[in-house]
Chains A and B, each alone.
Chain A
Amino acid sequence: MAAAGGLRSAGWRLWRGRAVVRCHQYPPLRALQASAALRRASDEHRKEPLASSSQQHFDSPPDGHQPEQKPQGPHPSYTGQGGQESEDYESEEQLQHRILTAALEFVPEHGWTAEAIAEGAKTLGLSVAAAGLFHSDGSELILHFVSECNTKLSELLRKEQKLVQLGEAEKKPIDEFLRDAVEARLRMLIPYIEKWPQALSVLLLPRNIPSSLNLLTSMIDDIWHYAGDQSTDFNWYTRRAVLTGIYNTTELVMMQDSSPGFEDTWRFLENRVADAMTMSNTASRYNPLEKLLSRA
């Protein structure tokens, strides 16, 4: 039994190795073929990944999050609870999601690279060839991380909103709300701050711009939504543009900040938000056209 298992796993690794080599020749198909191979393998060898103790942690189906390649709505979860051969099916996206989540732990050490992904795959009991599923510049890893941070921020804002609705917390004034939301989101970068400049440059690659822009805009829209923005005129755009500017500049300041607890960054943020508030008050007071344009 054990011998058969050993032979099977040796054959599995050989087969997956071959799948990855074949994939290098056809880059556009590589992700599809490699992950299909991985999925077939993981179908047959479900016991193997489940046996590793670090599994428990990653088996929960991702609910309502946005996978980095298709940032559109939740996808159905297929992971079963028991070890039943026929029901325990994991989709390709979920597998990639698990690998990338595991890889984040190794980013401070290896950067946003295939090494980090390989290490992550190892902790899941998969072969390091799993890193072949992804681009070598770590794009998917970074986009995955950004998407996860945005989801966490939404959760946080939703919970706060619930508390306010239940009367257990005070409704914050707009400038404080925006400041806190941006600060909360930027704080999620702190564990990875050394390698974040590298991530920013990868996010600006033409290939990644649609996805990274999409993630940025939906995060900013989320913040304004929870701040109570109900504009349906051109203000909708102005507010989001201003907040995007505040967020991006604060992020850049944070990269260069060496003060204790990033207090310089938070002070910068406070000033920028105050500037924005002043600008909007001045504009509505002195600009009749702005008033005209914002009236329905």
Chain B
Amino acid sequence: WTLDNWSQNPVIDRILRVDHAGEFGANRIYAGQMAVLGRSSVGPLIQQMWNQEKDHLKKFNELMVAYRVRPTVLLPFWNVAGFVLGAGSALLGKKGAMACTVAVEESISEHYNNQIRTLIEEDPEKYKELLQVIKQFRDDEQEHHDIGLEHDAEAAPAYSVLKTAIQLGCKVAIFLSERI
């Protein structure tokens, strides 16, 4: 039921589709956070992290075209959901925004690590360039995660509940975007 028979290389197809969706969502999350906290003291920090996500998205756009991968139909949905998540967490305060960042970036780092493992198992030579890209991006996301922690994410209201809920949402988003 996965529409997999559209693609020439199902492995790459899934990987690129979900990564593209992820970076797109991350962009919208930071956009939402900026909409609320743009003029606060963490504004420049969030802007900086957002800029890095923009670069990531640009890279995946190029890869999608090069490998002729179909983007996920859920993009319009992630567009709205990401913004709402970003703005919602920012409304809980700066620490809330940081908590959201920590949760999302932790999910994404783990997700990239899984992909790196998959690609290495498949054929490290063939996917050398893609592996390099994903490793670099994973390091960037890890850095965002650390920045979030540094800025008192753990002191956010209902931190563990928030984190669990957001990470569950990420897992669902990843599952769906890989397939649809």
Q: Is the CB of A214 within 8 A of B71?
A: no
Residues in A with CB closer than 8 Å to B115 are none
Residues in A with CB closer than 8 Å to B76 are 234, 293
Main secondary structure, interface of A, reads helix
Q: Is the CB of A236 within 8 A of B5?
A: no
Residues in A with CB closer than 8 Å to B6 are 214, 217-218, 221
Given the complex of chains A and B, what is the CA–CA distance between A200 and B57 in angstroms? 42
Which residues between 272 and 296 of chain A lie within 8 Å of chain B, taking CB atoms?
Answer: 292-293, 296
| Chain B, Cβ-Cβ closest to A229 | B65
Given the complex of chains A and B, what is the CA–CA distance between A230 and B71 in angstroms? 11
Given the complex of chains A and B, what is the CA–CA distance between A210 and B61 in angstroms? 29
Separation in Å of the A220 CB from the closest CB of chain B? 11
| Chain A, Cβ-Cβ closest to B64 | A232
Indicate the member of A73, A210, A237 with the most B CB atoms within 10 Å. Answer: A237
Partner of A237, one of B8, B65, B73: B73
Q: Is the CB of A233 within 8 A of B75?
A: yes
Count B-side interface residues using an 8 Å CB cutoff.
Answer: 18
| Chain B, Cβ-Cβ closest to A230 | B65
Which residues between 53 and 70 of chain B lie within 8 Å of chain A, taking CB atoms?
Answer: 57, 60-61, 64-65, 68, 70
Residues in B with CB closer than 8 Å to A221 are 6, 68
Residues in A with CB closer than 8 Å to B57 are 296
- Against B, the Cβ 8 Å flags (1 = close, 0 = not) of A66-105 are 0000011100000000000000000000000000000000
Is A225 in the interface zone, CB < 8 Å from B?
yes
Is B27 in the interface zone, CB < 8 Å from A?
yes
Given the complex of chains A and B, what is the CA–CA distance between A214 and B5 in angstroms? 7
Given the complex of chains A and B, what is the CA–CA distance between A71 and B8 in angstroms? 10
Residues in A with CB closer than 8 Å to B145 are none
Q: Is the CB of A72 within 8 A of B5?
A: yes
Q: Is the CB of B79 within 8 A of A236?
A: no
Given the complex of chains A and B, what is the CA–CA distance between A236 and B71 in angstroms? 7
Residues in B with CB closer than 8 Å to A217 are 6
Residues in B with CB closer than 8 Å to A72 are 5, 8
- Against B, the Cβ 8 Å flags (1 = close, 0 = not) of A201-212 are 000000000100
Separation in Å of the B142 CB from the closest CB of chain A? 23
Given the complex of chains A and B, what is the CA–CA distance between A292 and B70 in angstroms? 20
Given the complex of chains A and B, what is the CA–CA distance between A232 and B73 in angstroms? 10
| Chain B, Cβ-Cβ closest to A72 | B5
Partner of A233, one of B5, B8, B68, B71: B71
Is B95 in the interface zone, CB < 8 Å from A?
no
Q: Is the CB of A296 within 8 A of B73?
A: no
Q: Is the CB of B68 within 8 A of A225?
A: yes
Partner of B61, one of A71, A73, A237, A296: A296
Separation in Å of the A245 CB from the closest CB of chain B? 17
Interfacial residues, chain B to chain A (CB-CB below 8 A):
5-6, 8, 20, 24, 27, 57, 60-61, 64-65, 68, 70-71, 73, 75-76, 79
The 4 A-B residue pairs with the shortest CB-CB distance, nearest first, are A232-B64, A230-B65, A232-B61, A232-B71
Q: List 25 A-B contacts (CB under 8 A).
A: A71-B5, A72-B5, A73-B8, A210-B5, A214-B6, A217-B6, A218-B6, A221-B68, A225-B68, A230-B65, A232-B60, A232-B61, A232-B64, A232-B65, A234-B73, A234-B75, A236-B70, A237-B73, A293-B75, A293-B76, A293-B79, A296-B24, A296-B27, A296-B57, A296-B61
